[in-house]
Amino acid sequence: MRKASITRNTAETQITVDINLDGTGSYDNQTGVGFFDHMLDQLSRHSLIDMTIRAKGDTHIDDHHTVEDTGIALGQALAQAVGDKKGIYRYGHFALAMDDTQISTALDLSARPFLVWNVEFPTAKIGTFDTELVREFFQALSTHGGITLHVDKVHGINSHHIAEAAFKSVARALRMALEIDPRMADSLPSTKGAL
């Protein structure tokens, strides 16, 4: 089974992540940051990755460390769970519409972390949540998950929709990339012999 458990403890955050790539999109995410939990739930539901996340962070300062470090731990879990990548589609893309917003994602489970982030928010906050942290999360996920990740806002005027569409779009693209390609069987989707 393609599962992983990661525990990551620092002076700023204590985080555990349990995932199953071959899940049904069931989730139980509690980070102490309400809006972020809502986004992680979307990521699980739309990727079909089962996800249990617990984070205790220094949210008395702000949500930055908690969001970033959860991205790091989730990226590490993804990289571990996907293993040798035999048989996977590797690439994923999804243009996701949500009311006023469209977010387009293209990604490659390449082991070459690279984030292209063309997503601007019209407001600095969603409730108490800093919108700039959405990018911080995906930067950490890309770096530690070994993902070439391109996320573009095609259009959108509502910050909640923009953030949520980004998480859902990445989730759907991840689902596609992680899926087992029946024509690839036990081979690697690369001519290099390693990925």
The residues of the shown chain that bind Mn ion, judged by CB under 5 A, are: 164
Cα–Cα distance measured from residue 29 to residue 178, given in angstroms and rounded to the nearest whole number:
21
Helix spans in 101-158 (H) = 132-145
35 vs 94, which CB is nearer to Mn ion?
A: 35
Minimum Å distance from CB 118 to Mn ion? 22
Minimum Å distance from CB 11 to Mn ion? 32
Cα–Cα distance measured from residue 102 to residue 18, given in angstroms and rounded to the nearest whole number:
30
Strand-pairing partners, residue 56, are 14
13 vs 102, which CB is nearer to Mn ion?
A: 102
Give every strand in the sheet of 114-118, ordered side by side. 91-98, 101-108, 148-155, 114-118
Minimum Å distance from CB 164 to Mn ion? 5
Q: Quote the strand ranges of the chain, DSSP E.
A: 3-9, 13-20, 27-30, 50-57, 91-98, 101-108, 114-118, 125-126, 129-130, 148-155
Cα–Cα distance measured from residue 195 to residue 117, given in angstroms and rounded to the nearest whole number:
23
6 vs 39, which CB is nearer to Mn ion?
A: 39
Which residue of the chain is nearest Mn ion when measured via CB?
A: 164
Cα–Cα distance measured from residue 21 to residue 2, given in angstroms and rounded to the nearest whole number:
6
The answer to whether 6 and 73 have CB atoms below 8 angstroms apart is yes
Minimum Å distance from CB 63 to Mn ion? 17
129 vs 138, which CB is nearer to Mn ion?
A: 129
Minimum Å distance from CB 35 to Mn ion? 9
88 vs 166, which CB is nearer to Mn ion?
A: 166
The Cβ of residue 165 has, within 10 Å, a number of other Cβ atoms equal to: 28
168 vs 175, which CB is nearer to Mn ion?
A: 168
Minimum Å distance from CB 38 to Mn ion? 6
